[in-house]
A = this chain, B = another copy of it.
Amino acid sequence: MIAMKPLTSAPHQVVIIGGGFAGIQAARSLLDSDHSVEIVLVDRRNFTLFQPLLYQVATGLLSPADIATPLRPLFRDHPRVRVILDEAIGFDPFKRQVFLRHGDVPYDTLIVATGSRHHYFNHPEWEVHAPGLKTLEDAEIMRTRIFTAMESAELATDETQRRRLLTFVIAGGGATGVELAGTVAEITRHTTVREFRRCDPSLARIVLIELHDRLLSGFSVDSSTETLRALGSLGVEVMLSTRISDVSAEGVTVVTATGPISIPSATVLWAAGVVASPLGSLLATSLNRPLARGGRVSVGDDCAIPGHPNIFVLGDLAEFIPDQLDNPENRPLPGVAQVALQQGVYVGQVITNRLRGDAPPPPFIYKDRGSMAAIGRRLAVAEIGAFHLRGRLAWLAWLALHLIKLMQVQSRILVLVQWVWSYATWNRRARLITGQDPDQPLLISE
């Protein structure tokens, strides 16, 4: 039980749940603009994760520490920030308290930004066969699955079994799915060349399955077409307009226009769907409000919950529907880092203005600074407004942007060294099969 600060005492206490893009940015924005507020940052993890590069950990190029920044050093020089490693398990909006597993924390203003998890469209039983990619643990599991499949193929004596072990299915044709498919193609076609004696990973079948009729549906149609072409040239089979109807230890079953197809596969990587953190539901329940689609929490144009001006929800957890004139279809903002970052800055400004007695800033407007996805070596698509880049130039822009966005200078240097090295040698030094009990058989059983 954490000691409570009486509600009446100054200074104003802002509790931020979730140390992702939105939460960290909100804390920084508050620290930049106001010097009286106290901040409590609560996260279950002791680091903030740069998720856009998580697929490079999952494929053995980077190490976890390259994309994870410990939280405490970020706020070492800000004694008004208290970091708590704990999990929020409930809210009392009337007493203005957050319940944590190990105590309660009172707030004057609450910011909830706990993001999203991958999910399986009412088939949670698929998860064991098709790991998703949201945490460092997920990345380690995915890495171990990918490289264990190839090791098992080397030992397999049955040709059907070996084909199954060398079939990689990636579910979901968004940025993560495209990046995973391109990378698995690179690993099997190039990284592991001449490394196996009895199986030939370059014969691996890589299948990318997308429900819609094009890849990267958040991008323009020409970027989708370019991505489809690029993946094809890497030897990835792309199945569009295809629904996954079953995932099991044997592989996946998909439904296409011509009927169901079974794809025997030992390695199914899930990049198909996300659902908001369960905290959204707890928060909505405590406020007697309905949940929005995907478990998200509806917020108004100031990023606060309507009727609760001191509770903000940001990033993937929030359903923010921009002004209807610009948005006739009422589409919510996408679950991308940029939205979270901009909302973090904005909410810091809203709170600062309130505490200063200034007028509130104008409603939040998302400035889409563009989208990028890396498809493979030297290939990417990038869109900045009407300006569309492809191929090598887009790839260099992708590299530069992701390097700059890493929070630690040291990580930028280390990631750059690893990228250059991997580019020159095709090697992936971090392709470690770890996290399994070494006393247990490591291989996928036949």
Task: Kindly identify which residue among B46, B70, B83, B430 contacts A65, using a CB–CB cutoff of 8 Å.
Answer: B430
Q: Does A194 contact B (CB under 8 A)?
A: yes
A432→B194 contact, CB < 8 A: no
Residues of B contacting A85 with CB < 8 Å?
Answer: 148, 151, 154-155, 433, 442-443
Residues of B contacting A68 with CB < 8 Å?
Answer: 432
Instruction: Write out, one digit per residue, whether chain A residues 70-82 have a CB within 8 A of any chain B CB (1) or not (0).
Output: 1011011101001
Q: Does A319 contact B (CB under 8 A)?
A: no
Smallest CB–CB gap between A431 and chain B, Å?
5
Q: Which A residues from 136 to 157 make CB contacts under 8 A with B?
A: 136-137, 147-148, 151, 154-155, 157
- Interface residues of chain A: helix, strand, loop or mixed (majority): loop
B443→A86 contact, CB < 8 A: yes
How many angstroms from the CA of A193 to the CA of B77 in the assembled complex?
A: 10
Q: Which A residues from 409 to 442 make CB contacts under 8 A with B?
A: 410-411, 413-414, 417-418, 421, 427-435, 438, 441-442
Copies in the complex: 2
Q: Does A10 contact B (CB under 8 A)?
A: no
Smallest CB–CB gap between A101 and chain B, Å?
5
A102→B443 contact, CB < 8 A: yes
Residues of B contacting A77 with CB < 8 Å?
Answer: 194
Q: How many residues on the A side are at the interface (Cβ–Cβ under 8 A)?
A: 67
Residues of B contacting A441 with CB < 8 Å?
Answer: 87, 101-102
How many angstroms from the CA of A430 to the CA of B196 in the assembled complex?
A: 32
Q: Does A103 contact B (CB under 8 A)?
A: yes
Q: Does A99 contact B (CB under 8 A)?
A: no
How many angstroms from the CA of A360 to the CA of B352 in the assembled complex?
A: 82
Q: Does A44 contact B (CB under 8 A)?
A: yes
**Contacts A192-B72, A194-B76 hold; do A413 and B408 have CB atoms under 8 A apart?**
no
A135→B438 contact, CB < 8 A: yes
Chain A residues in the interface with B (C-beta under 8 A): 1-3, 44-47, 63-66, 68-70, 72-73, 75-77, 79, 82-87, 101-103, 135-137, 147-148, 151, 154-155, 157, 192-198, 408, 410-411, 413-414, 417-418, 421, 427-435, 438, 441-443, 446
